[in-house]
Amino acid sequence: MAHRLEMKQMTKKYGEFTANDQVSFTLEAGEVHAIVGENGAGKTTLMRMLYGMEQPTEGEILLNGKPVAFRGPNDAIRNGIGMVHQHFMLFGDFTVAENIVIGYEPKQAGFFRRKEAVEKVRALSEEYRIPINPLTQVSACSVGEQQRVEILKVLYQGAEIIVLDEPTAVLTPLEVKDLLQTIRNLAASGKSVILITHKLQEVMEVADRITVLRGGRVTGTVSQSETNVDDLARLMVGRELEELSQRVPLEGKRLLHVDRVTMREKQTLLDHVSFSIHHGEIVGIAGVSGNGQSELLQAISGLRPIQEGKIHLDGTDVTNKSVEAIRQAGLAHIPEDRYLWGTAKLESVEENALMGYQRKPEFYRRGVILRDSFRQVVRGWVDRFAIKTGSRQLQELAGNLSGGNLQKLIVARELGQETPLLIAAEPTRGVDIGAMEHIHQALIEKRNNGDGILLVSSELSEILALSDRVLVMYKGRIAGELARSEATEEKISVLMAGGNVHGSDQRAV
C-alpha cells in the first residue's frame, strides 16, 4: 500500500551550499511524524520544498504513490497539504469565521453568505474538537486561539496533511497541552501531521515517528516507542550532551533589591513589584508574555522610567539612572529582543561585539580603541560558542548572521562583561540544542562564581533547570514565589494563569 506522502532523495543546493542532501522520509495516514534538528539542519528547507515554496535540485515527491510537482503553495493546498507557519497570517479586524473562509467564502449570486460561513466553521470546530467562537474578532483572541484559527483554516481548505512549524514557540504551558491534544485528535480522525520542532519532550508526548536531521542529512528515523530524549539529542548534535555543572551552595549578600516598583503609562504596567537577588543565585521569572516581565527588565536596566519605588544594585541606588550609569554599577544585559535592543544590524560583527567595551582601559588608550587586542577576545567568543560569522568573519554585517548566531554573539558579549549582575532575557531563543548546552553551562558557572542572574524565559524547562528560585508574574505583579525544591511546571502554570498554589511560599524577598 502506498504511503500518504513520500519524499525521496530530496536535495536542495544554493550555489556551493547544500541545505538538504538526499533526504527521504515517509508519512502515513493518521500519523504524527516529527522532524527535529538543530538550527540549519535543513528542516525548514525540506518543508518549503513540500509546500511548493522552493523547487528541489534533485528528488521526488509522491502523494498516495503518485509523483507530484508543486509550483507554489496554492498547488500544495489543492493537493491537500496545509501549513501552519510559526508567524500567523491572520487579519485582526476580521472575525474567526471570516479568517478561516477567506479565499474560499461560501457565496450566492456573488454575495458572501456570512451565516453559512459561521455554521461551517462551528461544525468544523466541533468535528475536530478545536473549540473557538466563530464570531469573535481575531484581535481579541489569545495566541493559542489564533493558532486554532490557523489550524481550522487549513482543515477548511481540505488539508489531509498538516505541517506545523514550531507550533508551541509562543504558547503558554496550558495552551501547549491543548495543542498536543488537538494534534492527537487530528491524527485519530485520519489526518497526517508533520511536526517541526526542537522541543524533544513534546515530540516524545505526541509523535508516532521521528526523523532527525543534522547538517542537511537524515541521521535517523525512529519510532517514539524505541527512543528517548537523550537518544534524539545525540542524533541531533552527533555527541553526548554534557550534564550541567553542580551548583555550589552559596549564601551571598543581597545584590539587587527591587522595592515596590510601580510603572504607569496610561495603565499600570508594574504594580508594587518587590524582590531581591543575592550573590550566587539565579532567580527565574516566569509568566505569560505581556504580564510585566519586559517592563520590569527595562526598569532595572534604565530603558524605561518608574513612577514609584526604588532599585538598588550592589548597594548603589540606580533608580531611573541612565543605561550607562546602571551598567557601570555592575549590570550586563542579554535583551529579549536581539534586533531591537541587542544589535545594530547594519554594523559589523566586530562593532556589535565592541558595544560596552569601547571605553574599557584594556581596549581604549589615549582616545584610540585597541582593535587588535579586542579582536583576539572576540575570536575567543566565536570559538567558544561556535558562532558562524560568514565569509567576512568579524567584518560580516550582523544582519547577515542567522538569528541563532546573533543570539550567541550577544550572550558571549554580555557574559564577557563579568559584571556582578546579569539580566538574561530569553538567553537561548533561536539557538540549537548544542549552543543551549553551552549557554546554560556558562550561566551556572557565573552563578557558582558568586554573581547573580535574573533569568526571564518563556521556556519553563529552562526556568526549572537553571533557577534557584522562581517568581511568577501576573498582571504586573509577583503572583507567587517557589523555591527550586518545590517548583514544578504544574505549579508555575497555575500561578501564570492567576491561580493560587496551596502551600507555596508566596513571599518575594
CATH code of residue 274: 3.40.50.300
> How deeply is 267 buried, as exposed, middle or buried, from its count of CB atoms within 10 A (0-12, 13-18, 19+)?
exposed
Kindly calculate the radius of gyration of the chain based on its CA atoms and give it in whole angstroms. 25
Q: Kindly list the strands in the beta sheet with 17-27, ordered across the sheet, starting from the edge strand earlier in the chain.
A: 17-27, 5-14, 58-63, 66-68
Query: According to the model, what pLDDT value does residue 419 have?
Result: 95
Q: Which ranges of 42-111 would DSSP assign to H, the alpha helix?
A: 43-50, 73-78, 96-101
Domain identity same for 257 and 197: no
Q: CB of 78 within 8 A of CB of 156?
A: no
Domain identity same for 260 and 302: yes
Domain identity same for 383 and 306: no
Residue 336 resides in a domain: no
How far from 232 is each of 122, 214, 441, CA to CA, in Å? 39, 11, 20
Domain identity same for 354 and 499: no
Query: Pick from 175, 206, 237: which residue ends a domain?
Result: 237
Q: CB of 211 within 8 A of CB of 219?
A: no
Domain identity same for 388 and 461: no
DSSP-derived letter for residue 71 is S
Report d(CA 203, CA 207) in Å as an integer.
5
How far from 358 is each of 301, 322, 349, 364, CA to CA, in Å? 19, 17, 14, 6
Residue 247 resides in a domain: no
Q: What domain range includes position 72? A: 5-237
Residue 66 resides in a domain: yes
Domain identity same for 155 and 64: yes
Full DSSP string of 335-360: -S-IIIII--TTSBHHHHHHTTTTT-
Query: Pick from 352, 385, 418: which residue ends a domain?
Result: 418
**Which phi and psi angles does 290 have, rounded to 5°?**
100, 10
How far from 421 is each of 97, 300, 314, 338, 451, CA to CA, in Å? 49, 11, 9, 19, 6
Q: CB of 136 within 8 A of CB of 98?
A: no
Domain identity same for 394 and 423: no
Domain identity same for 233 and 275: no
Report d(CA 440, CA 280) in Å as an integer.
15
Q: CB of 479 within 8 A of CB of 498?
A: yes
Domain identity same for 411 and 424: no
Q: What is the pLDDT along the chain (509 residues), one digit of tens a residue?
A: 789 999 999 999 988 889 999 999 999 999 999 999 877 788 889 999 999 999 999 999 999 999 999 999 999 999 999 999 877 889 999 999 999 999 888 988 888 999 999 999 999 999 999 999 999 999 998 888 898 999 999 999 999 999 998 888 667 677 788 899 999 999 999 999 999 987 888 899 999 999 999 889 999 999 999 999 889 988 887 776 667 778 887 788 999 999 999 999 989 999 999 999 999 999 999 988 788 999 999 999 999 999 999 999 999 999 999 999 999 999 999 998 888 888 998 999 999 999 988 888 888 888 888 888 899 999 999 988 888 887 788 999 988 887 778 889 999 999 999 999 999 999 988 777 778 888 999 999 999 999 999 999 988 889 999 999 999 999 999 999 999 999 988 898 889 888 887 544 444 44
Query: Pick from 418, 448, 476: which residue ends a domain?
Result: 418
Buried/exposed 248-263: b ≥16 CB within 10 Å, e otherwise: eeeeeeebbbbeebbb
Domain identity same for 268 and 155: no
Residue 49 resides in a domain: yes
Residue 212 resides in a domain: yes
Query: According to the model, what pLDDT value does residue 505 have?
Result: 44
Report d(CA 256, CA 217) in Å as an integer.
47
Element (H, E) at 245: none
Long-range CB contacts (< 8 A, 24+ apart) of 397-403?
397/345, 397/346, 397/347, 397/348, 397/349, 398/343, 398/344, 398/345, 398/346, 398/347, 398/348, 398/349, 398/351, 398/352, 399/345, 399/346, 401/349, 402/39, 402/40, 402/430, 403/39, 403/338, 403/429, 403/430
Cell of 482: 517557589
Domain identity same for 35 and 81: yes
Report d(CA 62, CA 161) in Å as an integer.
13
Residue 242 resides in a domain: no
Cα end-to-end distance, the chain, whole Å: 64
Query: According to the model, what pLDDT value does residue 53 have?
Result: 93
Report d(CA 218, CA 443) in Å as an integer.
32
Number of structural domains the chain divides into: 3
Residue 248 resides in a domain: no
Element (H, E) at 294: helix 293-301
Query: According to the model, what pLDDT value does residue 502 have?
Result: 58
Task: Please count the CA atoms within 13 angstroms of the CA of 425 that sit on its side-chain side.
Answer: 20
Query: According to the model, what pLDDT value does residue 240 have?
Result: 67
Q: CB of 36 within 8 A of CB of 213?
A: yes
Q: Tell me the pTM.
A: 0.71
Domain identity same for 82 and 138: yes
Residue 245 resides in a domain: no
